[in-house]
Structure 1
């Protein structure tokens, strides 16, 4: 296991709940978007209600659940947008 972390930018309701525009998630050797959702919910309980719904972008492109992640990538989380 590595001792590093991943920086995750938050937007909209996620940022409001966290009280910050960036969170730091403890990194592990093999990370995916699905892993990140679980890690956010565990490490930031205030975001647990949103974690399953977050749209996750990696290096400016929306990412699928199995996409590998590393600490050097730009990662951002967006709650789904509703309205009309």
Structure 2
């Protein structure tokens, strides 16, 4: 079996196939979320999805999270401001 390292951003736990849907997130965007602390777990987000250019047959990947809650949206924008110049 392959050896790999697992890093989680936000929250991790068992995935219940009945209630949970695992999402693939673009690697550089996931690192950005980690670095800025923008992600608030267990909140509602709209997803911006695109086809994975490295593996187009694997399905869509998340390229952006758009917070639904106004307070989380403010936190998200403030966190991302440091990297937007």
| TM-score of Structure 1 vs Structure 2, range by shorter chain | under 0.3
Q: TM-score w.r.t. structure 1 length?
A: 0.25
Q: Whose strand proportion is higher, 1 or 2?
A: 1
- Kindly name which structure, 1 or 2, has the bigger radius of gyration based on alpha carbons: 2
- Greater relative contact order, per chain length (Cα 8 Å cut-off, separation 6+): 1
